[in-house]
């Protein structure tokens, strides 16, 4: 293999295909692809464009700064941002036509008072059980009444009403959907007519049809990973990210040799050790010491010993390996590679965290883009 020392390679074609497939599956009028946190590590701007090519007509981010990054790159699709600084100045967001997800009366007043020449578009977020942000049920009527008044005065437009699910169980999610439904009724009674009603992220979009409303917000599934852990192939999805590096050193060692910090691994017999130049600085979980899977020369091995800051070691037995050979940490299982889910299992976490935490000195390359 030639190519970079270490890289995460993102197949933008996979994102486009996944979104198109999910759009068909879900059948809602609108599809939002969530590109927060640098698109779960996949690259926000590139992933946003790939998602739009697959039929997404909305983008979602947590923070306004993330929305402005898309605008600066020339992405002009509708975008919603829903997590704000306590002292947030909403002016720039309004100037750049970023829809604002709002969770309190104070935020509503701040948006109405922002000195922009454009009319703000807001989407009110309702708390329905997750206990994060969102307007609490006992404040719904006051917030709806004030929003309706501001809308009547032409100071803002209430474009949407939304919430988010716990995924604690189907029963919990159904209760939350029912509460959301009551919120919609009370908003309507207050004179609001929000055209975008949404509550489902990937998990509910796939499993709870009554949660789909006008729009679903797809994050993890768009990147080709399952929101439930396990096989995304059953859902017709293809993982977009491949994490790989090149063997930096090879050594033949005798039995009983200690490997990496603390010697938590010892060779059982004469064997070959290879050095892989990715460590926890790149987001490789140290919790995956002695367990994270890799593919070298078409065969599966595990990390041997501790994951260090810059590197880890793999005992490959008698496999003939040379410096520069490819090591795949995870990718598309159709290629025989381990998956982000395998790493999640090895590290005691979820696939979301495995892809999103990557960074450090890792470069990112793209394939399969529309442009």
The residues that are catalytic are: 36, 261
Residue 162, H or E segment: strand 157-162
Q: Does 164 bind ligand PLP (CB under 6 A)?
A: yes
Counting Cα atoms < 13 Å in the Cβ hemisphere of 196 gives 26
CA distance 219 to 240: 12
According to DSSP, residue 3 is labeled: S
Binding mask 75-114 for ligand PLP (x = CB under 6 A): -------x--------------------------------
Using only the alpha carbons of the chain, give its radius of gyration: 23
In whole angstroms, the minimum distance from the beta carbon of 33 to ligand PLP comes to 9
Give the one residue of 14, 15, 34, 44 binding ligand PLP; rule: CB under 6 A.
34
Q: Does 220 bind ligand PLP (CB under 6 A)?
A: yes
Give the range of 87-95, 105-113, 220-228, 297-305 binding ligand PLP by CB under 6 A. Answer: 220-228
- Would you say 184 and 160 are in contact if contact means Cβ atoms under 8 Å apart? no
What one-character-per-residue DSSP string does 47-80 give?
HHHHHHHTT--EEEESSHHHHHHHHHTT--S-EE
Of the pair 36, 42, the CB lying nearest ligand PLP is at: 36
Give the one residue of 218, 235, 247, 295 binding ligand PLP; rule: CB under 6 A.
218
Of the pair 215, 278, the CB lying nearest ligand PLP is at: 215
Q: Does 201 bind ligand PLP (CB under 6 A)?
A: yes
In whole angstroms, the minimum distance from the beta carbon of 344 to ligand PLP comes to 14
Which of 149, 96, 89 shows the shortest CA–CA distance to 118?
A: 96
CA 26 to chain centre: 19
Of the pair 110, 221, the CB lying nearest ligand PLP is at: 221
Q: What is the 3-state secondary structure (H, E, C) of 12-50?
A: HHHHHHHHHHHHHHHCCCEEEEECHHHHHCCCHHHHHHH
In whole angstroms, the minimum distance from the beta carbon of 39 to ligand PLP comes to 11
Q: Does 9 bind ligand PLP (CB under 6 A)?
A: no
Pairing status of strand 299-304 against strand 312-317? antiparallel
Q: Does 202 bind ligand PLP (CB under 6 A)?
A: yes
Q: Does 227 bind ligand PLP (CB under 6 A)?
A: yes
Give the one residue of 13, 183, 219, 224 binding ligand PLP; rule: CB under 6 A.
219
Backbone angles phi, psi at 32, to 5 degrees: -100, 130
CA distance 7 to 3: 9
According to DSSP, residue 181 is labeled: H
Q: Does 53 bind ligand PLP (CB under 6 A)?
A: no
Of the pair 53, 221, the CB lying nearest ligand PLP is at: 221
Of the pair 217, 244, the CB lying nearest ligand PLP is at: 217
In whole angstroms, the minimum distance from the beta carbon of 40 to ligand PLP comes to 7
Give the range of 49-57, 110-118, 215-223, 229-237 binding ligand PLP by CB under 6 A. Answer: 215-223
- Could you tell me if residue 257 is left (phi over 0), alpha (psi between -120 and 50 degrees) or otherwise beta? beta
- Residues forming the site for ligand PLP (CB under 6 A): 34, 36, 82, 164, 201-203, 217-221, 227
């Amino acid at each position: 293999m030639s190519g970079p020392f270490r890289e995460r390679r993102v197949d933008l074609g996979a994102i486009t295909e996944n979104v198109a497939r999910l759009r068909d599956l879900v059948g809602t009028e609108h599809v939002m692809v969530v590109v927060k946190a640098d698109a779960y590590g996949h690259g926000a701007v590139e992933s946003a464009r790939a998602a739009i090519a697959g039929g997404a007509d909305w983008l979602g981010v947590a923070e306004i700064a993330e929305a402005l990054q898309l605008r600066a790159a020339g992405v002009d699709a509708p975008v919603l941002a829903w997590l704000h600084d306590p002292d947030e100045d909403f002016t720039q967001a309004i100037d750049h036509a970023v829809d604002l997800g709002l969770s309190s009366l104070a935020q509503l007043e701040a948006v109405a008072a922002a000195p922009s020449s454009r009319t703000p578009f807001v989407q009110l977020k309702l708390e329905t059980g997750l206990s994060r942000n969102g307007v609490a049920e006992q404040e719904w009527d006051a917030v709806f009444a004030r929003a309706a008044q501001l809308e009547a005065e032409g100071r803002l437009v209430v474009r949407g009403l939304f919430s988010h699910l716990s995924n604690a169980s189907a029963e919990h999610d159904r209760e939350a959907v029912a509460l959301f439904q009551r919120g919609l009724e009370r908003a309507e009674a207050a004179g609001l007519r929000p055209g975008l009603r949404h509550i489902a992220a990937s998990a509910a979009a796939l499993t709870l049809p009554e949660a789909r409303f006008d729009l679903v917000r797809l994050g993890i599934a768009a990147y080709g990973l399952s929101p439930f852990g396990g096989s995304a192939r059953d859902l017709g999805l293809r993982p977009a990210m491949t994490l790989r590096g090149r063997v930096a050193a090879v050594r033949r060692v005798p039995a009983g040799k200690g490997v990496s910090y603390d010697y938590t691994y010892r060779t059982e017999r004469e064997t070959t050790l290879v050095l892989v130049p990715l460590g926890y600085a790149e987001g490789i979980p140290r919790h995956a010491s002695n367990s994270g899977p890799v593919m070298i020369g078409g065969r599966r091995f595990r990390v041997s010993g501790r994951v260090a800051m810059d590197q880890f070691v793999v005992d490959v037995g008698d496999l003939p390996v040379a410096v520069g050979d490819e090591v795949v940490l995870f990718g598309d299982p159709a290629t025989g590679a381990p998956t982000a889910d395998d790493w999640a299992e090895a590290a005691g976490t979820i696939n979301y965290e495995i892809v999103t935490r990557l960074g450090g000195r890792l470069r990112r390359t793209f394939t399969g883009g529309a442009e």
